[in-house]
Structures are given as C-alpha cells and as structure tokens.
Amino acid sequence: MSNSLHFERPGLALPGSARVVAVPSVDDSLGLKLLPFVLSLIAGSLDVTGFLGLGGLFTAHITGNVVVLAARLLANEPALISYVIAVPVFMAMLVLTRLFVAALDRIGVASLLPLLSLQSLFLLVTLGICLAAGLQADPHGRALTWAGMLAVSGMAVQNALVRVSLAGAPSTAVMTTNITVFTMDLGEIWFGRDLTGRAKARDRARRTWPAIAGFLLGCAVAAMCEPAFGLAGLAIPILLSFAAISLALTGRTPC
C-alpha cells in the first residue's frame, strides 16, 4: 500500500549552483520526530477554540465549513461570510505559501523554520485581534471574521509545510486521512503476508499515530480551556507553535 500521507522533497538542486536545499526528515532527530505531534496539538486546539469562540468556524478542518454552509443554506438560514470565504482564503494562502517556498529555494534557504515562524505570526495576530475586540465581540462581526481568516491562514501554512518542508510527516490537520491510513496499516501488519508490505505499514503507523493522538489531545485541552478563558485560549496553540519552532531548531542542518 502506497503512502499518501506526505510529499517528500529530499533536496532541491538550484539551477546554476552546486548548493542543495535540504529538506529535513522526521527521522533526522528526536525534535523532528516530535514535531508532527506538536503540530497536531496546534491544529486540534485551534480548531476547537475557533469553533467555540468564532461562531462555529472550523480553522483546521476547513471542509467542515462547506458542510455547515450547505446545511444553513438548505435550512434557509443566512450564510455567514466566514463560512463562505474560509475555503477560498485557505486555498489562496496555500498558493502564496508555495510561492514563498519557491523564493526560499532560489536563495538556498530551507523552508521549515520560516514557515513555522509565519504560522506563529498569524496566530499571534489572531489573538491580538480577539483580545482587542473584547469578550463581548460578535463572533460574526468584522473583527472576529478577520481573526478567523488569519487562523485559517495559519493552518494553511501548516498544511503546506508538512507537504514540502518536512519529509516523512503525516498530515497534522486531516485526521480522516490519518485514521484511514493507520487502520489499514494495522490490518496490513496483522494480516498481510508480504514482509516488505508489513514493514512499510509498520513504519507508516509509527509516524501516523502520534499525529492522531496529538490532534485529539489538542481538542480536549481546548474544549476545557475555551469555556473558561474564551478566545484568550488561543494562547495555547501560540505557545505550542513556539515549541514547534524550538523542535525544528534542534533538527536544523546546513543547506
């Protein structure tokens, strides 16, 4: 069974130059092995905090907004702007992130740390807007809609970086895919007859389960904190994003 969890870029040779942009792997160091778990914690905690505090907006499970939008339209309820623009904003930020990575490639800079830093910046500005708006702010008003789109942008950056900046990483936000692959790999490990296939499945399962556990734990923590602290609970994914940067620094290698 092929691994559909990630897109590996072991290195990019720059035209006209002997330098190669090295793409770190989750197997390079303990810090990078832990990075998908921490990124999943960020996604889970941000998704629940956003859902509870931003009027039901999904910031990580982006396609969930399409479901909510369709349900509201079919029920003849008003279509909230945050649901309408979440997916286009997510897609646009993915394109911009890929262009940013291409620019970094051209100057021989590995993209993992810049993208982690960019994600942290988006989340910090999101928290700042929420705090400035106040506890009684309308979750569907202009300020918190902007905040929601910045959070969506931060998750777009995270989704991009696990595809192009960290080889061997599973998805850290799409748990349906992870659970499907993990379950199928367990079946391959238990019942498969091909030794090579079982070894590959065991390797994928080893990489996938921390992401699933991290996302669920992040959801649980946010579900406890958001009712108590409101959108100030966004400090949790922000602190985790700083931890992710620290973990990436431990696995940094020269370009």
Q: What is the CATH number of the domain that holds 132?
A: 1.20.1250
Mean of the pLDDT values across residues 219-225?
Answer: 96
Helix axes 235-250, 112-133, angle to 10 degrees: 170
Residue 14 has pLDDT above 80, yes or no: no
Mean of the pLDDT values across residues 147-170?
Answer: 95
Domain that holds residue 131: 28-250
pLDDT band at 254 (very low <50, low <70, confident <90, very high): very low
Query: Distance between CA 154 and CA 215 in Å, rounded?
Result: 16
pLDDT band at 27 (very low <50, low <70, confident <90, very high): confident
The separation between CA 134 and the C-alpha centre of its own chain, rounded to angstroms, equals 27
Mean of the pLDDT values across residues 109-123?
Answer: 96
What pLDDT score does 20 carry?
A: 60
State whether the Cα torsion 107-156-114-247 is positive or negative: negative
What SS3 class is residue 214? helix
The DSSP annotation for 198-243 comes to HHHHHHHHHHHHHHHHHHHHHHHHHHHHHHHHGGGGGHHHHHHHHH
Would 138 be classed as within a structural domain? Answer: yes
Mean of the pLDDT values across residues 234-245?
Answer: 97
Q: How many domains does the chain have?
A: 1
Lowest mean pLDDT: which of 61-75, 163-177, 241-255? 241-255
Query: 45: Cβ–Cβ under 8 A, 6 or more apart, which residues?
Result: 218, 219, 221, 222, 233, 236, 237, 240
Would 56 be classed as within a structural domain? Answer: yes
What pLDDT score does 253 carry?
A: 52
Residue 16 has pLDDT above 90, yes or no: no
Query: Distance between CA 22 and CA 111 in Å, rounded?
Result: 9
Look up residue 121 and give its two tokens. 């910046």
Query: 18: Cβ–Cβ under 8 A, 6 or more apart, which residues?
Result: none
Would 216 be classed as within a structural domain? Answer: yes
Would 185 be classed as within a structural domain? Answer: yes
Would 123 be classed as within a structural domain? Answer: yes
Would 20 be classed as within a structural domain? Answer: no
What pLDDT score does 85 carry?
A: 93
Residue 12 has pLDDT above 80, yes or no: no
Rounded mean pLDDT of the chain? Answer: 88
Mean of the pLDDT values across residues 117-144?
Answer: 94
